[in-house]
């Protein structure tokens, strides 16, 4: 009888522990893969787009798909540690101008599934995932908009699938091959990221939205309930090729050979306040034939995340770029 009483007394504790365990692991949809609860994306400022999903390599990939489905697509690729929320100011005016906009979340970011292992996040993995998405959606005559890792991935996808792309707008991005090593701005960022990896966490919202207030910081934090969801943001800065023998460097050199003969319209729109990519637009203007004669621009009073700070202005540049360069 005494044993029964003790067991009965323990039942509430056992139930509580089980409930806590379900809370901790409830969003781990399979071993090592996390999916952010939908409610974390409710009532975000300016972000009320209907979600769309595709299954890519066993992961659920989220993308925004706005505008006339028969119109030529504009593919907007974010970098790290941001997500498609970054493009919320650009999507409505670009759609209103008659375009279809596709804005995916990279695997590990936004509403897409989040592998907990940093080993999943290779340069080749993300290039393959975006390639699969555009193939699954059968996107053609694409205008690419790439920034940060959105450019490292997008430019590779375009170089490896040139027949699917009509135009490229590059904003605060690049295609590094490791020659010359990283510049001082990126060296500082790498040092910070290495410290973040040592503690196993990253203040995503603060990094992207710190000058815009708590509501915007919370929106950039929304995809990441805790550190277990942040393998992508933590590891991707370490994947940028900063030496010629690093994974991705050889493939980027091959992509550059494509761009040295790229005659389709190519526009640079960098900001004036980004220490990481400063001066990087010049190499594209000089080496890419399709950049000749384009109305290259500098977005003033903006930092690295220029879509957040000057999204409407960048959207206007993009719309004009498409109008100035109609399909042949």
Catalytic residues: 148, 274, 304
Q: β-pairing, 51-56 with 59-66?
A: antiparallel
**Joined tokens for residue 18:** 């089980």
Do residues 237 and 194 make contact, with C-beta atoms less than 8 angstroms apart?
no
| Residues with Cβ within 8 Å of residue 71, at least 6 apart in sequence | 98, 99, 100
Whole-number Å distance between alpha carbons of 275 and 273 = 6
**Joined tokens for residue 4:** 């029964």
What percent of the chain is helix, strand and coil (3-state, nearest 5)? 45, 15, 40
Query: Cα angle at 241 between 255 and 153, to 5 degrees?
Result: 50
As to burial, measured by CB atoms within 10 angstroms (0-12 exposed, 13-18 middle, 19+ buried), residue 113 is: buried
Strand, helix or coil at 138?
coil
Nearest to 44 by CA among 115, 97, 111, 114: 111
Whole-number Å distance between alpha carbons of 292 and 286 = 8
**Joined tokens for residue 5:** 């009483």
| Residues with Cβ within 8 Å of residue 192, at least 6 apart in sequence | none
């Amino acid at each position: 009888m005494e044993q029964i009483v003790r067991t009965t007394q323990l039942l509430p504790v056992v139930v509580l522990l089980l409930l806590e365990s379900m809370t901790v692991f409830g969003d781990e949809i399979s071993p090592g893969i996390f999916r952010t609860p939908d409610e974390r994306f409710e009532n975000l400022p300016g972000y009320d787009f209907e979600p769309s999903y595709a299954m890519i390599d066993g992961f659920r990939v989220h993308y925004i798909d706005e505008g006339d489905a028969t119109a030529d697509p504009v593919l907007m690729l974010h970098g790290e540690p941001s997500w498609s929320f970054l493009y919320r100011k650009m999507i409505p005016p670009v759609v209103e101008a008659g375009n279809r906009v596709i804005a995916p979340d990279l695997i590990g970011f936004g509403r897409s599934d989040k592998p907990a292992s940093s080993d999943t996040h290779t340069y080749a993995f993300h290039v393959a995932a975006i390639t699969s998405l555009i193939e699954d959606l059968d996107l053609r005559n694409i205008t690419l908009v790439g920034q940060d890792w959105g450019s490292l991935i997008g430019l590779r996808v375009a170089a490896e699938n040139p027949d699917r792309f009509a135009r490229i707008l590059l904003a605060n991005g690049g295609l590094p091959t490791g020659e010359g090593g990283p510049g001082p701005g990126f060296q500082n960022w790498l040092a910070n990221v290495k410290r973040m990896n040592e503690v196993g966490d990253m203040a995503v919202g603060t990094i992207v939205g710190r000058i815009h207030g708590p509501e915007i910081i919370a929106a950039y934090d929304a995809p990441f309930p805790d550190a277990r969801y942040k393998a992508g943001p933590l590891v991707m800065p370490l994947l940028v090729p900063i030496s010629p023998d690093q994974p991705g460097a050889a493939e980027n050199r091959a992509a550059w050979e494509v761009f040295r003969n790229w005659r389709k319209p190519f526009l640079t729109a960098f900001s004036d306040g980004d220490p990481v990519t400063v001066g990087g637009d010049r190499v594209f203007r000089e080496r890419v034939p399709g950049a000749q004669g384009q109305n290259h621009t500098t977005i003033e009073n903006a930092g690295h995340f220029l879509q957040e700070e000057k999204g409407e202005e960048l959207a206007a540049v993009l719309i004009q770029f498409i109008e100035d360069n109609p399909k042949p």
